[in-house]
Amino acid sequence: MNMKTLLETTASTKAIDCSHDFRASMDPLPQNHFRLLYLEPTSSHKNSAIHCRLATFELQSAPTYEALSYTWGEAVLSHEIICNGSSLQVTSNLHGALQYLRQIDGERILWIDALCINQTNDQERMAQVHIMKDIYSKSNHVVIWLGKDTDDDKTAFAILEQYRKLFAERGQVDIGPLETAYYKLPLPAEESQDWTALIKLFQKPWFQRIWVIQEAVVCLPTFPFPYIFSFQGVQVVQRRLLNPHF
């Protein structure tokens, strides 16, 4: 083992130990209770340290909150946040979501499974899974995090915006190349590379998760600003694009 590998392994071990210590300090949840995460605002650059705190509430009397739908990504706890004043390691994808979702004018109240559930307590995890549908349905809305945006994402969501306008004006019409030409729809030409960007969007890991349907249909899901779209509208486009005979 070379020195670089040794240092990385040691750092990873310390991160796991630190996170385990934090989880061990979490108080048990009473029945029908859950935790919410208060994401503190940032007054500086988005790359500044992330601070948050956890608070426990009875499910029926919780404050207004948003639920996050995302993928854990690589199971490597590689990024640090400060939660309840203590260091806590999270995955790269979750760290990116927290950076993006921070506000500059106040706290943001979120439910995020990786942080709000004690992942080292099997009994708690099972109990929270049983009420997860209620957690999502009682949220103000569900925020869908697909990962940090790319130029392809911008192109894909520009097409989705055209579909949103089209569906709003004409209902859920057919959207094949013949219909596009006949109705003179404001969509890219069939040979345009823009369609590749849209396919790449639908191939992101989030769309492959088995929990997507439960998380996305029980409330009012949206993709983070500037991409504000209903999941149902995106789902229609996805099905018809990847399966023309749908």
pLDDT tens profile 30-70: 999 999 999 999 876 667 899 999 999 999 999 999 999 88
The pTM assigned to this predicted structure is: 0.76
Look up residue 36 and give its two tokens.
């919410």
pLDDT above 90 as % of the chain: 36
Check residue 213 and give its pLDDT: 66
| Cα–Cα distance, 134 to 124 (Å, whole number) | 16
Contact 16, 88 (CB under 8 A): no
Check residue 57 and give its pLDDT: 97
Cβ-based neighbours of 174, under 8 Å, separated by 6 or more: 240
- Of 83-97, 139-153, 155-169, 204-218, the one with minimum mean pLDDT is 204-218
* Beta-sheet strands, E only, within 44-184: 51-58, 66-69, 79-83, 86-90, 108-111, 141-144
Residue 244 binned pLDDT confidence (cut-offs 50, 70, 90): very low
- Of 34-43, 210-219, 236-245, the one with minimum mean pLDDT is 236-245
- Of 52-56, 136-140, 188-192, 195-199, the one with minimum mean pLDDT is 188-192
Q: Under the phi-then-psi rule, with left for phi > 0, alpha for psi from -120 to 50, and beta for the rest, what region is 201? A: alpha
| Cα–Cα distance, 73 to 76 (Å, whole number) | 8
* pLDDT average, residue stretch 103-127: 94
Give the bridge partners for 57, in sequence order: 34
Look up residue 46 and give its two tokens.
């988005």
Q: Output Rg (C-alpha) for the chain, integer angstroms.
A: 21
Task: Map residue 176 onto helix, strand or coil.
Answer: coil
Q: Which helix (H) or strand (E) holds 96?
A: helix 92-101
225 has a pLDDT exceeding 50: no
pLDDT above 70 as % of the chain: 72
Residue 17 binned pLDDT confidence (cut-offs 50, 70, 90): very low
* pLDDT average, residue stretch 189-204: 87
| Cα–Cα distance, 31 to 8 (Å, whole number) | 40
Residue by residue, DSSP assigns 17-50 as HHHHHHHHTSPPPPTTEEEEEEE---SS-TTSPP
Residue type, 29: L
Check residue 217 and give its pLDDT: 63
232 has a pLDDT exceeding 80: no
Phi, psi of 56, deg, nearest 5: -100, 140
| Cα–Cα distance, 229 to 217 (Å, whole number) | 13
211 has a pLDDT exceeding 80: no
